[in-house]
């Protein structure tokens, strides 16, 4: 088996730069909290060059570097960055998993493992695969180093030796020699074991492996044996999983509460663009969006934006989100925002031998999403008649012309064309004079004048068991003196007349 490890050395810093790319190249530090006494947990190269170090207080760091930009560490951003790293791995391999979080000196690193078995057919070489993985991570805003070995531990140890953007492929026969040359610190031993081994004068993996294993176990306990197994590349790793879930989350904790839609739009734009980049990496499209806002008042505002078709068109998704927010603005200022996308593969088109080619599947998806943004949710789709006694009820379903592949029966040529109705939504109120139980004169916005011809009534009733669903209509086909042929109805429940359709 071959495994690649993609490692981001300083994930809190990378997560901030991913969210704020405009800060790249500037002296930047990530603080553990707000205020001048907070400790720095991550420092950029530019800040380090000015003497700023981790664990400095913010106030001290500012005295060292006046133009230092300080961001408060955001667990939400780090979680999203870690998931983005997993997406980068899943974009090149079907099986991938995030490395377990550590609490030692490598607590800030973010690692993901990707199955690299048999990748030569797709990427020409293992080096090509590792380069592609590093490039995918970089595109998602996470510059990383990639090492490839026979199992997870050697790959991770090798990645720790590499600088950002570097790539290393370890052949199986080189691994032991490579590991032997590594300093012991890279194995991240816990403090007790590290101190004891330092007292013994053991500073490299080679020196550790030179010691008798059994005696080490007897004297220093099982932890050191785990360390030896790690150094020999003998650690037992479970197989890498193939994640089925494709729910992608991007979140951000805001440093200041936002109480207007326009600045909130900027925050959401950033979240959405990162989400779309991740969807693109995994060749997925967004089938639905869920927005959760943490409010200043202590509550939570959650809403779901359904899409007529999966898309990853940023402009369309943003328009839909803003439309949803404008329709129902959050009740209080916003402290944090989380955006979750349900990823689905883009529609695949299948050309038909006997039918005209319809719109391309991907283009249709984009069009449907854009139309939804223009017309509103539930106003786009394919209509269908509902099997219900209530008059003129119809439903809307997702438009998918691929589903109706069967040919409709051809109408015989000699059948006369059908007279159709044009619906009036809502029905137009009418004043009607009645003689002998039939309308004799109509006054309304669509039909006016004396009734020349009338057919009916046709009574439709139902829903008698529920006051809300109860209906009782008498329908009449009426031609008035102004030439309009309309469908007039008397509503027995509301005791009023209206015109609900025009023959046209």
Partner 1 sequence: MSRPPETALAVEALLRELGPQLRRGGLPDESLPRFPTGIDAVDRLLGGGFPRGQLSELTGTATSGRTSLALALLARSTAAGEVCAVVDAADGFDPLAAESAGVTLARVLWARAPDLQSALRSTSRLLEAEGFGLVLLNLASAGLRLPPALGTRLSRAAAGTHTALVVLGLARAEGASSALVLEMRAARAHFTGTPCLLEALEVEAHLVRQRSGPADRCTRLRLQACEAA
In the complex, the residues that contact partner 1 under the rule CB under 8 A are 352, 354-360, 363-364, 366-368, 370-371, 374-376, 379-385, 392, 394, 396, 399-401, 403-404, 407-411, 413, 415-425, 446-447, 453-455, 477, 479, 483-486, 501-504
Least distance between partner 1 and beta carbon 397 (Å): 8
Please say which residue, 277 or 361, places its beta carbon nearer to partner 1.
Answer: 361
- Give the separation between CA 277 and CA 317, rounded to whole angstroms: 13
Which pair of structure tokens corresponds to residue 441?
């004169």
Please say which residue, 407 or 465, places its beta carbon nearer to partner 1.
Answer: 407
The size of the chain, in residues, is 504
Least distance between partner 1 and beta carbon 488 (Å): 12
Please say which residue, 301 or 377, places its beta carbon nearer to partner 1.
Answer: 377
User: What phi and psi values does residue 245 have, to the nearest 5 degrees?
Assistant: -70, 140
Please say which residue, 178 or 475, places its beta carbon nearer to partner 1.
Answer: 475
Tell me which residue of 439, 76, 105, 130 sits closest to 270, measured CA to CA. Answer: 76
Least distance between partner 1 and beta carbon 499 (Å): 10
- Give the separation between CA 34 and CA 43, rounded to whole angstroms: 16
Please say which residue, 201 or 416, places its beta carbon nearer to partner 1.
Answer: 416
Which pair of structure tokens corresponds to residue 255?
């440093």
- Give the separation between CA 55 and CA 48, rounded to whole angstroms: 12
- Give the separation between CA 261 and CA 170, rounded to whole angstroms: 52
Least distance between partner 1 and beta carbon 446 (Å): 6
Place of tokens 């200043």: 296
Please say which residue, 241 or 376, places its beta carbon nearer to partner 1.
Answer: 376
Check if the beta carbon of residue 130 is closer than 8 Å to that of residue 167: yes
CA distances, 293 to each of 20, 115, 288, 332 (Å) = 20, 36, 17, 10
- Radius of gyration for the chain, computed over Cα atoms and rounded to the nearest angstrom: 34
Least distance between partner 1 and beta carbon 450 (Å): 14
Least distance between partner 1 and beta carbon 390 (Å): 12
Least distance between partner 1 and beta carbon 419 (Å): 4
Least distance between partner 1 and beta carbon 378 (Å): 9
For 391: left if phi > 0, alpha if psi spans -120 to 50, otherwise beta; the answer is beta
Check if the beta carbon of residue 34 is closer than 8 Å to that of residue 135: no
Check if the beta carbon of residue 250 is closer than 8 Å to that of residue 269: no
Please say which residue, 172 or 483, places its beta carbon nearer to partner 1.
Answer: 483
Please say which residue, 43 or 364, places its beta carbon nearer to partner 1.
Answer: 364
Please say which residue, 165 or 391, places its beta carbon nearer to partner 1.
Answer: 391
Please say which residue, 36 or 401, places its beta carbon nearer to partner 1.
Answer: 401
Please say which residue, 7 or 487, places its beta carbon nearer to partner 1.
Answer: 487
CA distances, 269 to each of 316, 393, 479 (Å) = 11, 39, 56
Please say which residue, 345 or 358, places its beta carbon nearer to partner 1.
Answer: 358
Least distance between partner 1 and beta carbon 272 (Å): 20
Least distance between partner 1 and beta carbon 483 (Å): 6
Which pair of structure tokens corresponds to residue 8?
């981001």
- Within 282-352, residue ranges assigned H as helices are 314-327
- Within 75-189, residue ranges assigned H as helices are 75-90, 120-123, 126-139, 152-161, 175-180
Please say which residue, 234 or 363, places its beta carbon nearer to partner 1.
Answer: 363
Which pair of structure tokens corresponds to residue 490?
């008397």
Check if the beta carbon of residue 4 is closer than 8 Å to that of residue 148: yes
Least distance between partner 1 and beta carbon 90 (Å): 30
Residue 92: count other Cβ atoms within 10 Å of its Cβ: 23
366-395 in b/e burial notation, b at 16+ Cβ within 10 A? bbbbbbbbeeebeebbeeeeeeeeeeeeee
DSSP secondary structure code for residue 239 in this structure: P
Least distance between partner 1 and beta carbon 339 (Å): 25
Least distance between partner 1 and beta carbon 310 (Å): 15
- Give the separation between CA 145 and CA 108, rounded to whole angstroms: 15
């Amino acid at each position: 088996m071959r495994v690649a490890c993609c490692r981001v050395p300083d994930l809190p810093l990378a997560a901030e730069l991913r969210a704020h790319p405009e800060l790249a190249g500037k002296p930047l530090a990530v603080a553990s909290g707000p205020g001048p006494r907070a400790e720095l947990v991550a420092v950029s190269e530019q800040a380090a060059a000015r003497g700023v170090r981790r664990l400095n207080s913010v106030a001290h760091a500012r005295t060292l570097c006046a133009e230092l930009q300080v961001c408060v560490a955001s667990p939400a951003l780090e979680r999203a960055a870690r998931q983005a790293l997993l997406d980068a791995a899943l974009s090149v391999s079907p099986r991938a998993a995030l490395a377990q979080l550590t609490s030692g000196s490598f607590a800030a690193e973010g690692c993901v493992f990707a199955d690299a078995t048999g990748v030569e057919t797709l990427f020409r070489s293992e080096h090509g695969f590792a380069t592609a993985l590093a490039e995918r991570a970089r595109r998602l805003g996470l510059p990383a180093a990639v090492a490839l070995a026979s199992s997870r531990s050697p790959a991770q140890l090798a990645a720790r030796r590499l600088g950002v953007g570097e790539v290393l492929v370890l052949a199986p026969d080189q691994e032991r020699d490579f590991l032997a040359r590594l300093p012991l610190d890279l194995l991240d031993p816990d403090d007790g074991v590290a101190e004891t081994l330092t007292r013994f004068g053991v500073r490299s993996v080679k020196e550790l492996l030179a010691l008798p294993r059994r005696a080490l176990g007897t004297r220093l306990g099982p932890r050191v044996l785990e360390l030896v197994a790690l150094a020999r590349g003998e650690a037992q790793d479970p197989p890498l999983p193939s994640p089925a879930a494709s729910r992608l989350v991007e979140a951000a904790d805001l440093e200041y509460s936002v109480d207007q839609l326009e600045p909130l739009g900027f925050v959401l734009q950033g979240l959405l663009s990162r989400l779309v980049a991740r969807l693109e990496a995994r060749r997925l499209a967004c089938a639905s969006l869920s927005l959760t806002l943490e409010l200043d008042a202590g509550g939570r505002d959650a809403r779901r934006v359904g899409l007529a078709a999966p898309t990853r068109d940023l402009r369309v998704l943003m328009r839909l989100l803003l439309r949803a927010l404008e329709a129902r603005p959050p009740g209080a200022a916003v402290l944090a925002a989380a955006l979750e996308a349900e990823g689905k593969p883009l529609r695949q088109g299948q050309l038909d031998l006997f039918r005209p080619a319809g719109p391309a599947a991907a283009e249709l998806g984009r069009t449907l999403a854009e139309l939804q943004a223009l017309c509103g949710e539930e106003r786009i789709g394919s209509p269908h008649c509902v099997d219900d006694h209530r008059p003129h009820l119809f439903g809307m379903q997702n438009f998918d012309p691929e589903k109706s592949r069967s040919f409709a029966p051809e109408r015989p040529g000699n059948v006369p064309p059908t007279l159709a109705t044009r619906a009036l939504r809502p029905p137009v109120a009418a004043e009607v004079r009645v003689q002998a139980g039939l309308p004799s004169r109509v006054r309304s916005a669509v039909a006016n004048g004396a009734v020349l011809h009338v057919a009916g009534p046709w009574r439709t009733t139902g829903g008698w068991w529920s006051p809300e669903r109860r209906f009782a209509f008498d329908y009449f086909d009426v031609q008035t003196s102004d030439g309009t042929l309309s469908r007039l109805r008397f509503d027995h429940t509301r005791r009023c007349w209206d015109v609900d359709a025009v023959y046209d």
